[in-house]
Chains A and B, each alone.
Chain A
């Protein structure tokens, strides 16, 4: 095994950047594969071996691998969320959740409409802050890969868009709760039973989904580029 020269490293980086990959995970893995393979051969065999690698890691293959990884990462996050959801709700926690929700309903019925509207904004602000925090953390990790591989295109973690999109979808659904009655011109909708039931159901769904998504991110952040 030998170390590649700077010139050889540049050739590898160029070859990989022509593939126009955007997934930091795939780029990192292919780059490591190329270097590990080429280090096993003498300098005189470098060109031949690089060509051999290029025949295996074609543009089409790399993009198919990237697409499959994106799909697999979505599945992985969902599986993690589901596992967390199943293990979270033990009997004491279920009791705690029911007590919390009862107090929430009582609290909700005692406050004014304006306060209700303001309370609904709190989760949106938290999610927005969380999104920004996740994005910055991932950006810092991916920046290092971008520097090593010398990628010309913008690259990001395959997990990142999936997580941020899910958080955004939940945020949008919460917004809809306020926007739809406004559009339909429902009078005093903040005091209506429909709104109370809908906001309560959405609150449970929103909290459960966001918490498991956050936990899934926390677990994956130890080993992935997010």
Chain B
């Protein structure tokens, strides 16, 4: 998909935001939720998702929980206290970036423009 490179930089923010809204989620559920929210426009590839989840877990932003589901074991991810703080900072960072990008793309917009 052509927007893959654009998503790469904001993948961690997407994951953190989704986990802020949902108490706990597993890998496949995250890919499906993003697909559902964007009507299939954004597809998170498994190649990027799992390394990102493991990195966030190692940084202490996500905690994990293992649960028996049907006849298999599922790993759920949820936000830690540090993760909850990080969502706010990552969100404002991303919003700031989108606003600045908007100003570059449409220079006619006034500096006070907010998304």
Interface set of A (CB-CB < 8 Å, partner B): 3, 25, 28-29, 31-33, 35-37, 56-57, 61, 65, 68-69, 72-73, 75-76, 79-80, 83, 144-145, 148, 223-225
- Contact across chains for B51 and A31 when beta carbons are under 8 A apart: no
Are B57 and A72 in touch, CB under 8 angstroms? yes
Interface residues of B (CB under 8 A from A): 26-29, 45-47, 50-51, 54-55, 57-60, 63-66, 69-75
Complex: how many Å from CA A56 to CA B65? 25
Q: Which residues of B contact A31 (CB under 8 A)?
A: 72
Interface of chain B, helix or strand or loop or mixed? Answer: mixed
Contact A148 B58 (CB under 8 A): no
Q: Quick one: closest A residue to B60, CB to CB?
A: A79
- The reply to whether B27 and A25 form a contact with Cβ atoms under 8 Å apart is no
Decide: A224 near B64, CB < 8 A? Known: A28-B73, A31-B72: yes
Nearest-Cβ distance from residue A188 to partner chain B, whole angstroms: 48
**Smallest Cβ-Cβ distance to B75: which chain A residue:** A29
Neighbouring A residues of B66 by C-beta, 8 Å: 28, 223-225
A75 touches B58 (CB 8 A): yes
Q: How far is the CA of A75 from the CA of B61 in the complex (A)?
A: 13
Known contacts A56-B45, A65-B51, A223-B63; is-contact A33 B28 (Cβ 8 Å):
yes
Question: B72, A76: Cβ atoms under 8 Å?
Answer: no
Query: Which of A37, A72, A80 contacts B54 (CB under 8 A)?
Result: A72
When C-beta atoms are compared, the residue in chain A nearest to B47 turns out to be A61
Q: Which of B27, B29, B59, B69 contacts A29 (CB 8 A)?
A: B27
User: A80 — which chain B residues lie within 8 A by C-beta?
Assistant: 60
Q: How far is the CB of B103 from chain A (nearest CB, A)?
A: 37
Q: How far is the CA of A56 from the CA of B26 in the complex (A)?
A: 18
User: Chain A at the B interface: mostly helix, strand, loop or mixed?
Assistant: helix
Query: Which 10 A-B pairs rank lowest in CB-CB distance, beginning with the nearest?
Result: A72-B58, A36-B28, A76-B58, A75-B58, A72-B54, A223-B64, A33-B28, A32-B74, A28-B73, A69-B54
A33 neighbours in B (Cβ, 8 Å): 27-28, 46
Is A32's CB under 8 angstroms from B60's CB? Answer: no
Let me know if B27 and A32 touch, CB within 8 A: yes
B50 and A32 form a contact (CB under 8 A): no
A sample of 6 cross-chain residue pairs with beta-carbon separation below 8 angstroms, ordered by A number, consists of A28-B66, A32-B28, A65-B51, A148-B71, A148-B73, A225-B66
Q: Is the CB of B26 within 8 A of A32?
A: yes
Report how far A80 CA is from B71 CA in the complex, Å. 32
Chain B residues in 8 Å Cβ range of A37: 28
Known: A37-B28, A224-B64, A224-B66. A32 touches B72 (CB 8 A): yes
Do B73 and A76 have beta carbons less than 8 Å apart?
A: no
Highest count of chain B CB atoms <10 Å: which of A29, A35, A37, A56: A29
